[in-house]
């Protein structure tokens, strides 16, 4: 049989628990997280003060209602009979005022809440977009959506409501306690009997609530990721007849989530039963004591009614303040999940003016890309490049070839400053002037990655996403250069034709040509094509490249490809071998073409 711990033993255990938490830095972490929330709260302090004042006015109205109810009961039971009409009218007026205050409070609460929610999500959204790309790839898209959506909403609600509700409930508790003590302090003793029990129960739930909130957030992110991946890959799921396995996996995830929630619900149920029993004991004790005080002539029936109402207000305010521990923990968890993202390394765009000036000075000359002695390894330790170098100049088409997985796409990411080399450097160069490749310098590049990168909307809106001021004629010219105009002009709405999610409604080849047209419309001095024509037939692929390099624009073009049929059009071809880049000779290029 398990021995029952003594009160002193339980106290020591609780003290030990908090000491361990302090040593682990958890309390310091919570302060940091809640400080993040309060940073948003300070921006809305005027609205919060107004909301708090409305809540305090509502509390005063509630107390006045109790006092008027006391007089009304006294009138009905034989006291102050002549004041019935006046008291009844006052009560109606107070009830109407309470309705108005409640509605105004609800309206402004919703208005402020939506504004704060929108601002926090907008702020977090912008910070996610400037977060270091390589760090961001450690998170599943579904997890990012969960943090940006659910956690940001929890933070916005907390930023607005936590302090005002704490102030309102403290005011409610103290004002109700003051009125009760003014009329009969003995009732306050009975009304406060349940608070120690509630406090002890809250302490016992603290650690469990923390773990549950963390598990719940992680589980929600897992389910969000599963749903996002499933809906993005319905075609593949259908093609491989994976419907039953995916439904089964969803059932497993739901079962895991439900089981986790039920575990906490059982714990909460036991706690609520205990608190409910304590609440009943307190209520009936107040009833009994009130009946005794009325029977002994110490108070009137109306006073007893007021005491019973205010004792409920006291207990309710105390329980609400206790439950705010749970809210604080939930708020802390959500703030921590957001901080995980926005405290990651951020890209700097401080040099944007210098980049703009560099681009303007060398608009007519074009811009070269130079990579020197690049060293890069994946997070798992696999080395991709060791002293790798290459260069590409205006009016050149540079080909990059190599087996799949050897680093062609990674090389373009290094050029784009999406990932940072562990050694070496990438810079831009024109007329003897160098510019270090930074995130801000991406504005000098147009990029067509692998896969379908079209957005939902019209063809024109896709084009103008990179060139907002482009005219319809400029869009058509870009479509012609990408060999896309031949099918776009046949569409009922032309460039205003709708594009579905991920290029829905178009073939892979058509989507690729649209993506190339978008890149050309940006009119950047550097064009990066990462397997961007893999879905095109050879003739179309070669025609697109001829069009790209056939104009007067001093464009620098870098192409990665598995199909060597376009290599004959390249100025130079680099092969990735032994983690380095080697220029292939004309005979080697011809051999690649023949072997294809």
Q: 15-342 with 352-595: one CATH topology?
A: no
Residue 424: pLDDT band (50, 70, 90) is very high
CA–chain centroid gap for 358, Å, is: 36
pLDDT of residue 83: 63
Distance CA 290, CA 300 (A): 9
pLDDT of residue 444: 93
Residue 275: pLDDT band (50, 70, 90) is low
pLDDT of residue 11: 47
Look-up of token digits 């071809």: 573
Residue 14: pLDDT band (50, 70, 90) is very low
The answer to whether 304 touches 87, Cβ cutoff 8 Å, is no
390 phi/psi in degrees, rounded to 5: -160, 170
Determine the average pLDDT of the residues in 157-173.
Answer: 82
Distance CA 397, CA 464 (A): 26
Instruction: Please give the CATH topology (third level) of the domain spanning 15-342.
Output: ABC transporter transmembrane region fold (1.20.1560)
The answer to whether 228 touches 141, Cβ cutoff 8 Å, is yes
Q: What is the 8-class DSSP label of residue 420?
A: -
pLDDT of residue 375: 92
Pair of tokens at residue 407: 């680093």
Could you state, in order of their start, the residue ranges of all structural domains in the chain? 15-342, 352-595
Residue 23: pLDDT band (50, 70, 90) is very low
Task: Residue 112: name the closest of 176, 179, 41 by CA.
Answer: 41
Determine the average pLDDT of the residues in 115-122.
Answer: 81
Average confidence score pLDDT of the chain? 79
Determine the average pLDDT of the residues in 40-52.
Answer: 80
pLDDT of residue 211: 65
574, β-bridge pairs: 400, 583
Which of the two residues, 500 and 399, has the higher pLDDT score? 399
Q: In what order do the strands lie in the sheet with 423-430?
A: 383-392, 368-377, 423-430, 433-436
Determine the average pLDDT of the residues in 465-471.
Answer: 89
Tell me the three state secondary structure of residue 459: helix
The answer to whether 462 touches 514, Cβ cutoff 8 Å, is yes
pLDDT of residue 475: 92
Q: Which of 89-98, 117-126, 194-203, 358-367 has the lowest mean pLDDT?
A: 194-203
Residue 26: pLDDT band (50, 70, 90) is low
Task: Residue 168: name the closest of 105, 110, 111 by CA.
Answer: 105
pLDDT of residue 149: 80
pLDDT of residue 143: 78
Determine the average pLDDT of the residues in 65-83.
Answer: 67
The answer to whether 47 touches 108, Cβ cutoff 8 Å, is yes
Which of the two residues, 478 and 152, has the higher pLDDT score? 478
pLDDT of residue 39: 79
| pLDDT tens digits for range 330-380 | 788 788 888 888 888 888 888 999 999 999 999 888 999 999 999 999 878
pLDDT of residue 194: 59
CB neighbours (10 Å) of residue 430? 23
Residue 539: pLDDT band (50, 70, 90) is confident
15: pLDDT strictly greater than 70? no
| pLDDT tens digits for range 172-183 | 888 888 888 887
For 352-595, the fitting CATH number among 3.30.1360.120, 3.40.50.10140, 3.40.50.300, 2.40.50.140 is 3.40.50.300
| pLDDT tens digits for range 192-242 | 665 665 555 555 555 566 566 667 767 777 777 787 778 777 766 777 777
C-alpha angle 316-322-325 in degrees, rounded to nearest 5:
145
pLDDT of residue 2: 41
514: pLDDT strictly greater than 80? yes
Determine the average pLDDT of the residues in 119-127.
Answer: 83
């Amino acid at each position: 049989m398990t021995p029952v711990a003594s009160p002193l033993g339980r106290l020591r255990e609780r003290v030990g628990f908090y000491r361990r938490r302090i040593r682990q830095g958890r309390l310091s972490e919570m302060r940091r997280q809640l400080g993040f929330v309060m940073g948003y709260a300070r921006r809305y302090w005027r609205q919060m003060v107004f909301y708090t004042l409305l809540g305090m006015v509502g509390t005063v109205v509630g107390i006045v209602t109790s006092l008027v109810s006391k007089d009304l009961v006294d009138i009905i039971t034989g006291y102050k009979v002549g004041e019935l009409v006046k008291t009844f009218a006052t009560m109606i007026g107070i009830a109407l005022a309470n309705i108005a205050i409640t509605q105004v409070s609800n309206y402004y609460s919703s208005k402020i809440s939506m504004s704060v929610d929108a601002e926090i999500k907008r702020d977090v959204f912008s910070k996610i977009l400037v977060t270091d790309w390589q760090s961001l790839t450690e998170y599943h898209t579904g997890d990012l959506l969960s943090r940006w959506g659910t956690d940001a909403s929890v933070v916005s609600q907390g930023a607005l409501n936590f302090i005002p509700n704490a102030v309102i409930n403290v005011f409610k508790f103290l004002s109700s306690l003051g009125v009760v003590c003014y009329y009969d302090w003995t009732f306050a003793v009975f009304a406060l009997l349940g608070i120690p029990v509630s406090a002890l129960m809250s302490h016992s739930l603290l650690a469990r609530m923390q773990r549950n909130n963390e598990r719940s957030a992680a589980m929600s992110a897992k389910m969000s990721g599963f749903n996002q991946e499933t809906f993005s890959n319905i075609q593949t799921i259908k093609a491989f007849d994976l419907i039953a396995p995916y439904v089964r996996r969803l059932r497993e995830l739901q079962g895991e989530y439900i089981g986790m929630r039920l575990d906490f619900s059982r714990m909460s149920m036991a706690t609520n039963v205990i608190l409910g029993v304590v609440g009943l004991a307190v209520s009936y004790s107040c009833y009994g004591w009130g009946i005794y005080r009325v029977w002994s002539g110490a108070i009137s029936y109306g006073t007893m009614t007021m005491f019973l109402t205010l004792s409920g207000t006291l207990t309710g305010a105390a329980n609400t303040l206790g439950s705010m521990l749970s809210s604080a923990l939930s708020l802390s968890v959500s703030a921590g999940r957001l901080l995980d993202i926005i405290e990651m390394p951020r890209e700097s765009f401080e040099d944007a003016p210098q980049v703009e000036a560099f681009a303007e000075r060398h608009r007519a000359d074009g811009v070269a890309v130079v990579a020197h002695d690049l060293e890069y390894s994946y997070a798992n330790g696999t080395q991709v490049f060791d002293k790798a170098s290459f260069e590409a100049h205006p009016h050149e088409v540079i080909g990059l070839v190599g087996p799949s997985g050897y680093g062609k796409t990674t090389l373009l990411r290094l050029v784009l400053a999406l990932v940072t080399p562990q050694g070496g450097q990438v810079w831009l160069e024109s007329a003897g002037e160098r510019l270090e490749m930074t995130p801000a310098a991406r504005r000098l590049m147009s990029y067509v990655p692998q896969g379908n990168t079209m957005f939902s909307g019209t063809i024109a809106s896709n084009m103008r996403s990179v060139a907002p001021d482009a005219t319809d004629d400029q869009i058509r010219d870009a479509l012609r250069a990408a060999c896309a105009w031949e099918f776009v002009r046949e569409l009922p709405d032309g460039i205003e034709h709708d594009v579905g999610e991920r290029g829905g409604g178009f073939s892979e080849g058509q989507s690729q040509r649209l993506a190339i047209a978008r890149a050309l419309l940006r009119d950047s001095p550097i064009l990066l094509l990462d397997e961007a024509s893999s879905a095109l037939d050879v003739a179309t692929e070669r025609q697109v490249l001829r069009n790209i390099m056939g104009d007067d624009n001093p464009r620098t073009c870098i192409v990665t490809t598995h199909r060597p049929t376009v290599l004959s059009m390249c100025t130079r071809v680099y092969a990735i071998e032994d983690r380095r880049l080697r220029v292939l000779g004309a005979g080697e290029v011809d051999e690649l073409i023949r072997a294809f």
